[in-house]
Structures are given as structure tokens and as C-alpha cells.
Amino acid sequence: MTDTTAASLARTSDDYARFGLDPTTVAQWEDGARTDNRSGTYEWWYFDAHLDGGAKVVVVFHNKDIVNPNRPLSPLLRLSLDLPDGRSYEKLIDFPAESWSAATDRADVRIGDNRFAGDLHTYRITATADELSVDITLTGQIRPWRPATGHMVFGADGALEFGWLPSVPQGAVTGSYTVDGVTKEVTGVGYHDHNWGNVGLLNIIHDWYWARGQAGPYSVIASYITAAEKYGHQAIPVFLLARDGEIVADDASLVRFETDDVYTDDVTGKPVASVGRYVFERGDERIVVTFDRARDLVRARMVDELSPVKRLLAKLARFDGAYLRFAGPMTVTVYRAGRAGRGVRRRRDLGADVLRACASGWAVGDGWLIAGGSSLSADGKGRLRPDALVSSTSLAATRSPRCSTELTKVSEKRVRLLDRQSRQGGILALGRGGDERRRVPRDTSSRANSCTGARWTRAWSQTGWMPTYLAFLRAINLGARRQFPKDRIRRAVESIGCDDVETYINTGNVRFSTRMRSIPRIESALEAAFYQDRDFAVPTIVFGRDEFAAVAADADTLAQEHPGAARQYVELLRSAPAPAVAAQLEAATTHVVRGRAMHTLLAAAAPPPGGGDTARFARLLGVSTSRTANVVRAIAQRWC
């Protein structure tokens, strides 16, 4: 029986023959016109760049607006410019059909006097829209690449197609932009891809995560597409990892996609993952690329951009497509078989060093998404560009932390390399129907179980070594008057010059790097920043990563030594108690003091910390905050 629900990335020898492709080489004609502009097809050539100094530019040449692929040829130029001074420009210019030309043997697309031309290595892009113009040269640093044939095919005979060619996965940018007659010469890092299809994307795709970033010597393109319900929600992953310009992993059939911290966005009503993770496994090698959502830049419903008539039709068709843009850090983790990895319970054959760094300067969103319902013959695509995504509305910019690097000897090789040009972003494109919200199952089985073992930690910035710390806030989010959202915590921490800031759950747990060396000084600076933001005092306890890893290890040891304990808490202390005070605390059999932590092990009927004898010792403990042992272990796994 013929399978009418098939959805896949075309990759067989017959597929290569069908599309006339060489499995090992991308030919120039592949970046030429791939459609004849007839009704039902669409095509566009895309370019974006992050420029030194903080500006961001996006240029797209469309043969038609993909929200209406059934239209005849109707050229469209999209030109976006986001400046470091906060000015943002988004231009969308329609042109007559006779202004369009596109070569079939190479990339040479013209819309009137605007031109997008190149040979898979060097491209010249010139475009003008009202008071804006750009003249850019893009020179490839990574060879042209496509995922298998670059064709996603749907249906029994694979006649429905969407094509994607990353002609320049990463390249150097030179040129200029002009605003209101003022021209600025620029350099930077850019990207170009080419897309085409013969079926509306929202007819074949339910949702799409797409990410791209540069991180030190690493460049990443990662995508996870979930086909529409009629195609069985079939997954189509895409993955590319390059190091120093050479592709080292690109077989997406070896990739597993995971999400964490899924929540419902209150603007779009869609489930959104705060963390997207791509796990590539090949023999003894395992590579994990993680994109963390640090802040939202755009949250929008597709219908808000339609005309009133189309908005009504979309409502009748129950279309509620949406897109989201976000910015945040990217982590590349490389596991290899080798020397024994101390402290890793599940993969004792792993061992390596950690190099981490955060992005520097302005992180600017780019990319776009347009989606629509099937009755409107509309399309949808989501993209993650270096720090975020761009939509058909204005671009957004956000200040990312100043550059820091951290090298940690641990039991796994975790590379978080986001240098001055490192950028990452995210998008979730969701399809029709409020009830049609499919979530990818969370899979955390690849995580190590503990952070114990020898280690040394240091971090680097342009001004010297920067250590990483963990901060624990006391008594927040417990009532209406002491609310402290995680995004406000991050901003407050960044306001005192801290980098690589990340929070975990709502109890007030923060990781960051700073040039400050004194823990009391850090605690004072954080408390002042928190008070300025909240207008109430937030006592804060700061630990070094090694010190906190030891606390987590002690929690594990004590749990094994006290198997009868039903509950376990850890009181994190600003100062280690004097020996006499520690002796008083430990005189109660439920308490064990280890350095700046008091571990409390309770029977099922015993009162939790804050009641019973713990309350009587509050004066002796000084400033402190409590966490469950499970939270302590989770934080250690995440940040140590």
C-alpha cells in the first residue's frame, strides 16, 4: 500500500539522480533560479550580516511574497538595517514583474537596479530602499553546503518539495551602508542561503526550529522540522558543525533533538521551548549543541500582519501561526572516548577540558518568518540567525554580556565558545490550529549525574582572567510583594559588569563571570543592584563553582550515609560557622555542617528548615538561604 504520509529529507542515490546533483559538490547552477515563477511556487535569496561596531543588515530578494505563492511573479525586496544607536529600519518594496530577472546557471538576481550575484564563494549585493542602501561583498569562509540533496519532500511520490541551499554558511563581509545620504564603511561576518518550493510551507510543516551561530572556531547550523499532522508529524533534522572553516559533522540522521523548559507564551498562546538541544552521536563521539533562550526579542501572531480581509479568512480557517525571536548563549559540547572522567557517573570513559565564552558587543536579531493557514495558500518558515530572528516588522537589538572565556578541567569536553563575533538566536514557527501543538519529548538522559571531582576554573576577558560564580538569592517569589522575575535578575546582574549570566528556576539561582575577586564585594554589589531594581532587600549568598560542586558532592555522600532520610535540604551560608557553632548545630542529629553549607536530613514527619530547631539556630547561622538537595544537584549538573 502506498504511503501518502511520507515526509523526509531526500538523500538516496535515486534522489540525487532525480535532482541532477553531485553528492559531494555543490555546483554554481544550484544557486541559480530553481523555479519558473509559476503560480504555487516561490523562491528567495537571503543574506544577513553582523557588522563590526554592532550594526546588523538583512537583504532578501523574493520572486513573490511567500504568504501568497499562488500569485504570479511579483518581485519583492526586503531590506533591514539595525544600528547600534538604536535606530531600526525595515523596508519592504514591491516591484513590477518586468523588473525581475534571475539567471539559471548561477546566482544573478535583479530587481530593477538592485542585484544579488555571486559564484558560491564571492557575492556582491547592492540594494536601495528609500533612504537606505547597501553595497556588500560576502566572501565565503566555509564551503557551500547542503543537507543531503537540500530537498525536503512530502507525499507518496515526493512531488511536494521545499529546497534549501546554504551557499555561504559563513563568510567575511566588507562594504558599506548609507542612511539619509551618510555612508559608513563596514566589515563583519555574514551568511547567505537560497530557498524555493512548490507547496505552501504551512501545508507541510507543523513547526520549525532553526539556529545558526559562530562560536570561536566553531560554526553551527542546526534545524529541527516537524511535518504537518497529515504527514505523521515526521521529524526532519538538519545539522552542520564546522571547525576552523572545515565541516566536521553533518549527518543529520545521527542527530537527536531535545527541548527543555517548555512554557506557553502569553502573547502567541504557543508552547515555546527555552532550551533547544541537538545531540549528534557517531561511534564514540558525541557532540551536543545547546541554544538557550535568554531574552525574547519578538513575539508575534501571523494574523496581525495580514490585511483585514485576510485576517478574517484566517480566523475562519482557524489559522493561528506565530513566530518568536530570542537571543541567548550557544554551547557546543564535544564528548570523546579517552581518559577516565572523574565525577561523571554515566560516561566514565569521557574526559576533557572546558572552554567557554560569552558573546561580546551588540547582539542583533535577524531572519524572518511568514506563516498562514491552508485556505489562504500561505507559507511559513522560521529561522534562527546569529542572535535572534528578524521578522517583517522592525529589527530589535539587545546588549549582550561583555566577552569572557572560561577554561575548566572537568570530566567532559564542553566547549562554549562565543567570541566577539559569536551570535545565536532562536525561533519557533507554529502551524495551524490552537489544538495542534505538538511538543518534542524532553530527553535528559545524556546529562552527567554529578559535578564531583578535581577541577580548576578560570575565565578570560580582554582585561584579564575572570572567575565564574554562583549566586543564591533569599526569599524571592514567595509572595506578591517579593516578586523578582528571572529576566530582571539577569539585567541587574549584568548592570554591575557581570558576563555570561544565566538563571535557573524561580528560587533565585544565578551563574555569572566577573572581574571581581572578593566574594563579599560581589555579594554587596549584587545586593545593591537588586535593591535598586526591586526596592526591597534581597540577601544574596555567592559561591565559587568548585566550592559549590563540593557542596553537591557532600549532599550525595550524606544521602548515601543516611538512607532513612525522607527529605534533604541544604542551607547555604554567607560565612562558615565557627567550630563551636558548628558543634551546636551538629548536636541535633538532623544537621551536618560542611564548610559554608549545613545539610539537614529529615524523617517524613520532621519539620522542614525554617521550623523546629533550625529556626532556633537562625541567629547562629547568619545570612543564609535554603535549597532542596535535588535543586543543589541540578544546579551542580548544569553549571559545574
Predicted confidence band at 295 (pLDDT cuts at 50, 70, 90)?
low
Assess whether pLDDT exceeds 80 at residue 461: no
pLDDT of residue 4: 52
Assess whether pLDDT exceeds 50 at residue 418: no
pTM passes above 0.85: no
Read off the C-alpha cell for 542. Answer: 555567592
Sign of torsion over alpha carbons 193, 198, 202, 204: negative
pLDDT of residue 160: 93
Of 300-309, 488-497, 583-592, give the range with the top mean pLDDT.
488-497
Q: What is the CA radius of gyration of the chain?
A: 26
**What are phi and psi for residue 145, nearest 5 degrees?**
-150, 150
Domains of the chain, residue spans: 1-199, 200-448, 457-544, 554-639
Task: For residue 338, list its beta bridge partners.
Answer: none
Q: Report the distance separating Cα 129 and Cα 117, nearest Å.
A: 18
Of 11-25, 269-283, 319-333, 386-400, give the range with the top mean pLDDT.
11-25
Q: Which helix (H) or strand (E) holds 379?
A: none
**Fold held by 200-448:** AttH-like fold (2.40.370)
Range from 205-214, 250-259, 480-489, 593-602 carrying the lowest mean pLDDT: 205-214
Architecture of the domain made up of 1-199: Beta Barrel (2.40)
pLDDT of residue 318: 55
Assess whether pLDDT exceeds 80 at residue 451: no
pLDDT of residue 397: 23
Q: Report the distance separating Cα 568 and Cα 139, nearest Å.
A: 58
Specify the amino acid at residue 372.
Answer: G
Q: Rounded mean pLDDT of the chain? A: 74
Assess whether pLDDT exceeds 80 at residue 459: no
Predicted confidence band at 328 (pLDDT cuts at 50, 70, 90)?
low
Give the CATH number of domain 457-544. Answer: 3.30.70.1280
Assess whether pLDDT exceeds 60 at residue 168: yes
Mean of the pLDDT values across residues 307-321?
57
Predicted confidence band at 448 (pLDDT cuts at 50, 70, 90)?
very low
From start to end of 474-559, where are the E strands? Answer: 499-504, 509-513, 540-544
Helix (H, G, I), strand (E, B) or coil at 248: strand
Pick 187 or 286 by higher pLDDT.
187
Of 204-218, 296-310, 508-522, 605-619, give the range with the top mean pLDDT.
508-522
DSSP structure string for 303-355: GGGS-HHHHHHHHHTT---EEEEEE--EEEEEE-B-S--TT-SS-TTB-EEEE
- In a 10 Å sphere around its CB, with 0-12 CB exposed, 13-18 middle and 19+ buried, how is residue 136 labelled? buried
Assess whether pLDDT exceeds 70 at residue 317: no
Assess whether pLDDT exceeds 50 at residue 506: yes
pLDDT tens figures, 217-227:
788 888 888 88
pLDDT of residue 617: 61
**What are phi and psi for residue 318, nearest 5 degrees?**
60, 35
Q: Note whether 1-199 and 457-544 share their fold.
A: no
Mean of the pLDDT values across residues 511-533?
87
Pick 450 or 531 by higher pLDDT.
531
pLDDT tens figures, 33-58:
999 999 999 999 999 888 888 888 98
Q: Report the distance separating Cα 289 and Cα 489, nearest Å.
A: 26
Cβ partners under 8 Å of residue 253, min gap 6:
11, 237
Length of the chain: 640
pLDDT tens figures, 333-367:
777 654 322 222 222 222 332 323 222 212 222 22
Mean of the pLDDT values across residues 279-291?
84
- How many other C-beta atoms are found inside a 10 Å radius of the C-beta of residue 612? 15
